[in-house]
Amino acid sequence: MVGATSLPTGAAAAVAAPAARTAPSTSSAPSTPATPTTPSMQHPPGPMPLARLFNNTAISDDSRPGTADFDGAGHSLSAQDLAAAGWSRGSVLAIDGARIGWPRSAAGAPDNVVADGQPVTVTGRGDALTFLVAGTGGIDPDVGNDPDDGSATDGENGPAVTGTGTVRYRDGSRSRYELTAPDWRSGPLSTKAVALPHINGAGGQTTETARLYAVTVPLRAGREVVSVTLPPAPGAAGDLHVFAVSVRDTGQGRTGSWAASTAGYRAVGPWQDRTLRLVVHAGAGGPRARIRLANTFAAAPVDIASASIALQDSGAAARTAPVPLTFDRGHTGTRIPAGAEAFSDPVDFTVPADTNLLVSIHLPGTVTAAPVHQEATQLSYVSAPGSGDRSGDRDGAAYPETMTSWPFLTGVDVEGGPGSIVALGDSITDGVKSTSGANRRWPDVLARRFQAQSLLPRYGVINHGISANRIVTDRYLGDGVSKDMGGVSAQHRLERDVLAQPAARTVVVFEGINDVRWGTEADEVIGGLRAIAGRAHERGLRVVAATVAPCEGYTDCTPAVEARRQAVNAFIRDHEGTFDAVLDFDAVIRDPQRPQRMLPAYDSGDHLHPGDAGLKALGDSVDLRALVPEGRG
C-alpha cells in the first residue's frame, strides 16, 4: 500500500519527525480560532528537515476546527476529507513522477512551513524539485473580501503567491528558482493535486472546495542537491505554505514504450470485483517493464488488488501466461490516493518493439468513476461482474465485455534505451478516424521508423494526444465527474504529460486547430505555444512545433478560422528562435490546388481528421534528425 512504502532520500527530509513543541488544545468545547504561527525571522544556522521547521497548522479534525488556522482567518483543511482522499498521515504520494511524503502530523499540530527564507535539508539527483504547496491570505484587489468578518468567503479569490528561492548542490554551486503557490480556495482546479469538499472554520464546516498543488521547479542537470532555501515571506501578497518537498527523478535509464493522457473523469460501470484487460501497443522494446496507473482528477482513492502484463495473442487471450506485477517493493496490490499515481516494480518481462500488450488490473471494490483516456482507437476487455481476479488468465474466456477507452493506465516503460519523444497533440495525434486496432496513428508510424533504423538513437515515441484538446482553454475543468473528455489545456497538462515522462528528450507540439475553430485569437494561441516552449526548454527538452493542418469543409471551419490558422502557422514557420525545429504538417497534407483544405487522398472524409494514408504521410514526413537533441545524434 502507498502508506507503507519506504521513502526516498529527498522525500524523507520532508516528513522527518517534528521537533518537540507545545501541543495544541484538544478540548472538544467551542474555541476561538487558533492563532496562526508566524515564521520566525531567526533561521537555524544550517539546513534542517522541513518537518522540524513547521510553523503553521493547516489541518483540523472536524470535531475541533478551532485547533488550526491555515489562512490567518481561522480556516483550515479537514483531516477527514484528506483521509477520504487517501492522503493519510505519513503516506507517500506519487505525483507527476515525484514521490512526496505527506506530513505525519496529527490534526491540530503544525504541518507546514510558511516560507520565509528557511534553509531545508533536501537531497538527491533529478530533473526537478517538487513542492506540495498552497497560497493563503492574498486579497485580489478586484474582489471585496473582509478577512476579519468570519464568513465562509474570507480570503477567497486570493491571487497566487510567488517567491524566489535557492538550491544548493554538493559541488558548492547554486541555482535560483521561482515557486508559485496558487490560492487554496480559488486557484485553478485544472492543475491542482487534490481537491477537498469542505473548509473548516471556528464556527464549523462549510461546503467549499479547497485545493493543494504539486509544483515543480527545474534543477541543474546531473548535480546532487543538498539543500533548498525557501522563498522569503512575500509580505502583503499573502503566505506561501510548503507541506513537502522532494527531488524528482523521472527515470533516467528508462524509455517510454507506450503512454496515454488522462482526458477526463468519467462515470463507468459500476465495476465491482472485476478485472480490466487493456490492450496497448508498444513502440520501443526493451527488457524489464513497469506500468504506470493514475488516479488523476479523482476525489477518492482506488484500490488495485493485482496486475499483470502479457503479450497479446488475439482478443483478450495472451500468448503465454501473464507475468504478475508488484508495487511498492513486492506488494501484489496498491491503493492510489486521489490525484496521485502508482508505478509497478520493474519485472523481468521483455517488451518487443511494435507489439500489442495486455495489461490487466483487478479492481476489488466498487468503481463508479475513473480517470479515462477516451479515444483509444482500440478494443480492450472487462471481465464479468463479480468474477474476481482474472489478471493471471491466459485465455480470454473470462472477459465477455469490451470497451474503447483506457481507464487508469497511463504508461508502460522499459529499462534501458535512449529515452522518449513525446507527441503533445489533439485528435489528429490521438488517431481519431484511423483504423481501430491497426495502430496507424502518426506517432505509431514515427515509432516504427525510429525502431527500424540504426544511425540515430532508437527513441520511444509516446502519444499524448487528446481528442478535442486545446492549447489555451481547458475543455474538462479538472475536477468532478464530467462527460467532456477533451482534457485540460496543453499548458495545464504539460507537467504531467511531458515534463514528468520517463527520460523525455524532445516534445513535438501539434495543436491549435481546436483553439482557432472555437474562437481563440491567433495571438493567444501563439502565446500558449511560446509558454510551452519556454517551460520545456527550461527543463532541457528539445522543442519541435508542427504547423496546424487545414480543415476547409468541416462544419465550423469558416474563413475567419482559416485566417487564424494561417496566422498561427506563419508564426510557427518564422518563430524567432522559439522552437528548435519545425515540422510543416500543413504542407504535407494540404491540397496544392486549394491549400485551405486537406488533399482528398489523405482525408478521412470529415475534412478535419486525416485517415490512415494521411497519418502515414505525416509520420513519414518527419526528418528523424530534427527530433534528436544536440549531442545525441
Residues 546-591 have pLDDT tens digits of 999 999 999 999 999 999 999 999 999 999 999 999 999 999 999 9
Give the mean model confidence (pLDDT) for residues 356-361: 98
Question: What pLDDT score was predicted for residue 632?
Answer: 76
Calculate mean pLDDT across residues 431-444: 98
Distance of CA 113 to the CA centre of its chain: 25
pLDDT score for 43: 63
pLDDT band for position 42 (cuts 50, 70, 90): low
237 phi and psi angles, rounded to 5 deg? -65, -15
* Residues whose CB falls within 8 Å of the CB of residue 238, separated by 6 or more in sequence, listed in order: 135, 136, 137, 138, 139, 158, 159, 161, 183
**How many angstroms separate the CA atoms of 104 and 93, rounded?**
13
Please give the Cα distance from 599 to 137 (Å, whole number).
56
Cα–Cα distance for residue pair 59/186, rounded to 1 Å? 18
Q: What is the per-residue pLDDT for 142?
A: 41
Q: List Cβ neighbours of 437 (8 Å cut-off, separation of 6 or more).
A: 279, 377, 378, 379
Residue ranges of domains in the chain: 50-138+157-248, 270-288+297-406, 418-632
Chain mean pLDDT for the chain: 91
Q: Are 286 and 351 in contact (CB under 8 A)?
A: yes
SS3 content of the chain, % helix, strand, coil (to 5): 20, 35, 45
Distance of CA 240 to the CA centre of its chain: 22
- Give me the amino acid identity at 454: S
User: Residue 141: what pLDDT?
Assistant: 39
Give SS3 for 561.
helix
Between helices 559-573 and 522-538, what is the axis angle to 10°?
A: 30
Percent of the chain predicted with pLDDT > 90: 86
- Average pLDDT on 236-260 reads 93
Residue 14 identity: A
pLDDT at 25: 33
The reported pLDDT for the residue numbered 454 is 96
Closest to 463 measured CA to CA, from 494, 500, 508: 508
- Give start and end residues of each alpha helix (H) in 366-434: 427-430
Q: Which helix or strand (DSSP H or E) is residue 99 part of?
A: strand 98-101
Show the DSSP H helices in 62-166 as ranges.
Answer: 79-84
Cell (9 digits) for 61: 479534525
Residue 138's pLDDT band (cuts 50, 70, 90): low
Per-residue pLDDT, 137: 87
Is the per-residue pLDDT at 22 higher than 50? no
* Order of strands across the sheet that contains 254-259: 98-101, 92-95, 341-343, 289-294, 409-415, 254-259
Report the C-alpha gap between 506 and 623 in whole angstroms: 14
Cis-peptide into 270, omega within 30 deg: yes
> Which amino acid is it at 599?
L
DSSP at 106: P
- Residue 439 identity: N
User: In terms of C-beta density within 10 A (0-12 exposed, 13-18 middle, 19 or more buried), how is residue 386 classed?
Assistant: exposed
- pLDDT at res. 371: 98
Q: Do strands 113-114 and 128-136 pair parallel, antiparallel, or not at all (unpaired)?
A: unpaired
DSSP letters spanning 142-157:
TS---TTS--TTTTTT
Q: Is the pLDDT of residue 23 over 80?
A: no
Instruction: Tell me the C-alpha to C-alpha distance, in Å, between residue 38 and each of 112, 239, 564.
Output: 11, 10, 51
Q: Residues 179-203: pLDDT tens digits? A: 999 999 999 999 999 999 999 998 8
Sign for the CA dihedral angle at 145, 148, 150, 155 comes to positive
Q: What is the dihedral of CA 420, 421, 422, 426, to 10 degrees?
A: -140
pLDDT at 237: 87
- C-beta separation of 140 from 127 below 8 A: no
145 band by pLDDT with thresholds 50, 70 and 90:
very low
Percent of the chain with pLDDT over 70: 90
SS3 call for 463 = strand
- Yes or no: say if 28 and 64 are a contact pair by the CB < 8 Å rule: yes
pTM for the complete prediction? 0.91
Rounded mean pLDDT, 219-224? 94
If 0-12 CB within 10 Å is exposed, 13-18 middle and 19+ buried, where does residue 449 land? middle
Task: Indicate the SS3 state at residue 65.
Answer: helix
Q: Do 200 and 184 meet the contact criterion of CB atoms below 8 Å apart?
A: no
pLDDT band, very low/low/confident/very high, at 153 (cuts 50, 70, 90): very low
Per-residue model confidence (pLDDT) at position 44 = 64
What does the pLDDT read at residue 380?
Answer: 98
Distance CA 25, CA 432 (A): 59
In CATH terms, the superfamily for domain 418-632 is: SGNH hydrolase (3.40.50.1110)
- Phi then psi for residue 368, to 5 deg, are -105, -15
CA distance 487 to 485: 6
The model's pLDDT over 467-509, given as tens digits with 9 standing for 90+, comes to 999 999 999 999 999 999 999 999 999 999 999 998 899 999 9
Using the predicted structure, report yes or no on whether residue 17 has a pLDDT greater than 80: no
Tell me whether residue 42 is exposed, middle or buried, using C-beta atoms within 10 angstroms of its C-beta: 0 to 12, 13 to 18, 19 or more. exposed
Tens-digit pLDDT profile for residues 89-126: 999 999 999 999 999 999 999 999 999 999 999 999 99
